Amino acid sequence: MSDSTLLAREIARRKTFAIISHPDAGKTTLTEKLLLYGGAIQMAGAVKAKKARAHAVSDWMEMERERGISIVSSVLQFPYKGRQLNLVDCPGHADFSEDTYRALMATDAAIMLLDSAKGVEMQTKKLFRVCKLRQMPIFTFVNKMDRPGRDPFELIGEVEEVLGIGVYPVTWPIHASGKFRGVYHRELKQVFLFELVAHGAEIAPMEATTLDAPHLLEALGEEAVKQLRDDVELLEAAGDALDRDRLARGEVTPMFFGSALTNFGLPQFLDAFIELMPLPAPRNSDKGLIEPTDERFTAFVFKIQANMDRQHRDRLAFLRVCSGRYERGMKVRHVRTGREVRLTNPVQFMAQERTVVDDGYAGDIIGMFDPGLYLIGDTICTGSPVAYEPLPQFPPEHFARMAILDPMKRKQLKKGLEQLGQEGSIQLFRPPEGREGEAIVGTVGELQFDVVKARLAAEYGVDVRVERLSFSFARWVEGDTLPLAELENQLYGYGALDIRDNPVVLFKGDWQLESCVKAFPKTRFLELGNSI
Ligand code: G4P
């Protein structure tokens, strides 16, 4: 097989995706069941407990803590029917939106998970918007069909209306005597009836039959079969077929019904998902679009995570491989610094552990041990340097200083804050040259302060008090330089440097920005260039 055929084949095997949903729709349950059906775990739901969300940085950390599954990273990789599935964690809490948005930038498709009783919820809408901007393929799974929910036709209408995307139901729910029994698959023209297993902890036995099989009447009763046939007739009357090009552009979403808890409808969803998921789209760089099958290796950093292993204090940069093939030990260019680095020990994240990989292809997510080189958005590549488009950033809306309780721990505080800033979990504004003082922490959501406080204590042994500051927005400075260190004395705002040493001014309100603009007419004050 030629190198390029092999490359194309390997890329086609990889399915890199995220699940977008509103909290409580069942993302953790679904994730666990994907692992179960992929054969990565034998038993789901080992430990159960109610959640304490406030301090969990990742949904999978919650899962690890509460369900007894060891999840070591923000990426889960598992096999499914000869494919390699890479599921990127996409926290659903409103306050972690930056992390979430970046995760979506690293994926090729999203599963939109809806609670059948609640339909399209607020957080789903927000995340959907990002997928839509990227024209990403979206697969919809309507969950909790085992509970009383909304009428499926009504849900289709809501998705179409509220989200502005076409819906093509691939499976259809079957209820009999008030119980969810399985799904009808429109493409296969088959009925799948499921049996309950205790807590849905194992693969649920199912049986396939056809709409007109006499056995179906026995199994479901006349009324349920009539209802199903009527529903199917109504669906078929629309006379459309799933348009794969529109799916690839995110204009139509295939919809599936099921229950992540009982596993009903799950294998039909998974099979269709891997079959229908389009190949990764080319990605935009400063040198134009790059196809995944481009022979050059290119990848970008979408997440940095420190202290995943408390014992080793390590720091991992997560990279999405966008084109070509990589090999362990290969030399690549770190484009921002121009430095040459070696892919010494790229790791991947199988369900239960990290493994060092020898080689891989576009579509993969790899982790690199990071000595402090990588920042979010950095590109590495072989051949002539290319840089991928910067990842979206969010303007910070909340500002605070971390007041240290034990002054002897100043060094640890500095280190901890720098780390969190490099991870992109907070934005850090350092005092400029000629000015003393602690760095200011900026966040998009208030909850992030709790996370910072908890992580500083747990990982750096520093207890802090969060002192909120009255700044309400930041502007990045372009054009003529400003006397950053002196601005505050003149009440023009607080001058600082961001993590890349770019000058920034924090303002308390529009009035302050306006007087600063008047005082320094040759300077421009910009919101984040690529903000969403
Ligand atoms: P999240 O990660 O999206 O926040 O949701 P998670 O999977 O934790 O599910 C939220 C709740 O919904 C859980 O119940 C979970 O068991 C339940 N759930 C998930 N999928 C289904 C489903 O298909 N059917 C039904 N009936 N329930 C489902 P909980 O009571 O909050 O927690 P637990 O004690 O059951 O874990």
Q: Please check whether residue 102 lies inside any domain of the structure.
A: no
Q: Check pLDDT > 80 for residue 394.
A: no
- For 114-123, how does the pLDDT look when each residue is reduced to its tens digit (9 = 90+)? 999 999 998 8
From 19, 24, 194, the mutation candidate for ligand 1 (largest count of ligand atoms within 8 A of CB) is 24
Tokens linked to 49? 């407990």
Q: Distance (Å, rounded) from C-alpha 33 to C-alpha 39? A: 10
The number of angstroms, rounded, from the C-alpha of 236 to the middle of its chain's C-alpha atoms is 35
CA-CA distance, 29 to 32, in Å (whole number)? 5
What mean pLDDT is predicted for residues 269-278? 95
CB atoms within 10 A of CB 46: 12
- Is the shortest distance between the CB of 430 and ligand 1 below 6 Å? no
Give me the pLDDT at residue 352, please: 59
Q: Are residues 322 and 359 in the same domain?
A: yes
The answer, yes or no, to whether any atom of ligand 1 lies below 6 A from the CB of 97, is no
Feature table: binding site: 21-28, 143-146
pLDDT bucket at 532, cuts 50 / 70 / 90: very low
- Nearest atom (ligand 1) to Cα of 258: 23
Question: How far away, in angstroms, is 46 Cα from ligand 1 center?
Answer: 14
> Which of 181-185, 212-216, 439-443: highest mean pLDDT?
181-185
* Structural domain includes residue 87: no
pLDDT of the residue at 43: 63
* Gap between the Cα atoms of 265 and 267, Å rounded: 6
Q: How does pLDDT run across 327-372, given as a tens digit for each residue?
A: 999 999 999 999 999 998 888 877 656 788 899 999 999 999 888 8
In a domain, 77, yes or no: no
Work out the end-to-end distance of the chain between its first and last CA atoms, rounded to an integer number of angstroms.
Answer: 44
276 pLDDT higher than 60: yes
Could you tell me the pLDDT band of residue 137, with boundaries at 50, 70 and 90?
very high
What is the model's pLDDT at position 69? 41
What is the C-alpha separation between 514 and 516, in angstroms, rounded?
5
- Asked if residue 387 is part of any domain, the answer here is no
**Same structural domain, 11 and 126:** yes
Same-domain check for residues 335 and 418: no
Q: Which two tokens stand for residue 454?
A: 């908890």
Number of domains in the chain: 3
Same domain for 409 and 350, yes or no, is no
Which residue's CA lies nearest to atom 18 of ligand 1? Answer: 26
**Within a domain: 249:** yes
Instruction: Please state the rounded mean pLDDT for residues 463-489.
Output: 91
Same domain? For 271 and 344 the reply is no
- Does residue 451 sit in the same domain as residue 502? yes
Claim to verify: residue 43 and residue 192 sit in the same structural domain: yes
Q: Do 422 and 494 lie in a common domain?
A: yes
Q: What is the pLDDT of residue 134?
A: 84
Average pLDDT over every residue of 181-199: 94
Instruction: Give a yes or no: residue 103 inside a domain.
Output: no
Asked if 45 and 117 sit in the same domain, the reply is yes
Q: From the CA of 29, give the closest atom in ligand 1.
A: 7
Does pLDDT of 62 surpass 70? no
pLDDT band at 530 (very low <50, low <70, confident <90, very high): very low
pLDDT band at 240; cut points 50, 70, 90: confident
Q: What is the 3-state secondary structure (H, E, C) of 65-104?
A: HHHCCCCCCCEEEEEECCEEEEEECCCCCHHHHHHHHHHH
Residue 29 carries which side chain, given as an amino acid letter? T
Whether 21 lines ligand 1, by a CB cut-off of 6 Å, is yes
DSSP 178: T
Residue 41 structural domain: 3-69+109-278
This complex has an ipTM of 0.97
pLDDT of residue 57: 44
* Percent with pLDDT over 70 in the chain: 90
**Do 156 and 252 fall within a single domain?**
yes
Q: How far apart are CA 369 and CA 346, in angstroms?
A: 8
Render 483-532 in DSSP notation, one character per residue. Answer: -GGGGGGGTS-EEEE-TTS-EEEEESSHHHHHHHHHH-TTEEEE--TTB-
Q: What residues form DSSP beta bridges with 526? A: 476
| pLDDT tens digits, 243-272 | 999 999 999 999 999 999 999 999 999 999
Q: Tell me, yes or no, whether 227 lies in a domain.
A: yes
Percent residues over pLDDT 90 in the chain: 59
pLDDT at residue 167, as a whole number: 97
- Indicate if 328 and 443 belong to the same structural domain: no
Domain-ending residue, one of 247, 278, 309: 278
Give the domain CATH number at 152: 3.40.50.300
- Determine the average pLDDT of the residues in 87-94: 74
- Contact 27 CB / ligand 1 (< 6 Å): yes
Ligand 1 centroid vs 27 CA: distance in angstroms?
8
Q: How confident is the model at residue 224 (pLDDT cuts 50, 70, 90)?
A: very high
Residue ranges of the binding site for GTP:
21-28, 143-146
Residue 74 falls within a domain, yes or no? no
Ligand 1, from 28, 29, 58: best to mutate by most atoms within 8 Å of Cβ? 29
Average pLDDT over residues 32-36: 88
In ligand 1, the atom with minimum distance to the C-alpha of 45 is 36
CA distances from 229 to 190, 296, 347, 375, 529 (A): 12, 52, 50, 56, 54
Residue with the bigger pLDDT between 467 and 485: it is 467
Which residue has its alpha carbon closest to ligand 1 atom 29?
A: 50
Whether the CB of 260 sits within 6 Å of ligand 1: yes
Distance 47 CA to ligand 1 centre (A): 13
Mean of all residue pLDDT scores within the chain: 87
Strand spans (E) along 210-275: 252-257
At residue 251, the pLDDT reads 96
Asked if residue 24 has its Cβ within 6 Å of ligand 1, the reply is: yes
**Average pLDDT of the residues in 44-51:** 43
Q: Do 24 and 138 have their domain in common?
A: yes
Give the end of a domain, one of 354, 381, 408: 381
445: domain CATH number is 3.30.70.3280
For range 172-193, the mean pLDDT: 96
pTM of the full structure: 0.84
Question: Considering 218, 250, 278, which residue would you say is the last residue of a domain?
Answer: 278
